[in-house]
Amino acid sequence: EAGVTQFPSHSVIEKGQTVTLRCDPISGHDNLYWYRRVMGKEIKFLLHFVKESKQDESGMPNNRFLAERTGGTYSTLKVQPAELEDSGVYFCASSQKGGTEAFFGQGTRLTVV
């Protein structure tokens, strides 16, 4: 069974540019989460989808971040325009049910220069 996959694995962009991260969850997992880890800090919650619906986006830093999950399958996280403080590793995770084991992707390391 394929795990959670994320693309790209690394992205280096200039301040002001746009970047779109993609996450393919494990097939059949309704719950999809986005997290971000800034160097040395916690894995910080960004938002949670159940199928195509946003259940909780309380962790989204600001309106430069837009997440979608059209059709309830893969999800994208777009940052526009990117700022220096957006640098970090963006993790996607999925689970069958909320409050149970979440399976993580390998992460996308975003560097904004």
Partner 1 sequence: GENVEQHPSTLSVQEGDSAVIKCTYSDSASNYFPWYKQELGKRPQLIIDIRSNVGEKKDQRIAVTLNKTAKHFSLHITETQPEDSAVYFCAASYGIKLIFGAGTRLAVHP
88 binds partner 1 (CB under 8 A): no
Query: What's at 95, amino acid-wise?
Result: S
Whole-number minimum distance, CB 85 to partner 1, in Å? 18
Indicate whether 44 belongs to the interface with partner 1 (CB under 8 A): yes
Residue from 17, 76, 87, 106 in contact with partner 1 (CB under 8 A)? 106
The string of DSSP codes covering the chain is: ----EEE-SEEEE-TT--EEEEEE--TT--EEEEEEE-TTS-EEEEEEEETTEEEE-TT--STTEEEE-GGGS-EEEEESS--GGG-EEEEEEEESSTTSPPEE---EEEEE-
Stretch that binds partner 1, among 14-22, 60-68, 74-82, 100-108 (CB under 8 A): 100-108
Please state the φ and ψ torsions of residue 51, each to the nearest 5 degrees: 55, -125
Site track for partner 1 across 14-43, x = CB under 8 A: -----------------x-x-x----xxxx
Binding-site size, partner 1 (CB under 8 A): 26
Binding site for partner 1 (CB under 8 A): 3-4, 31, 33, 35, 40-45, 48, 55-56, 91, 97-107
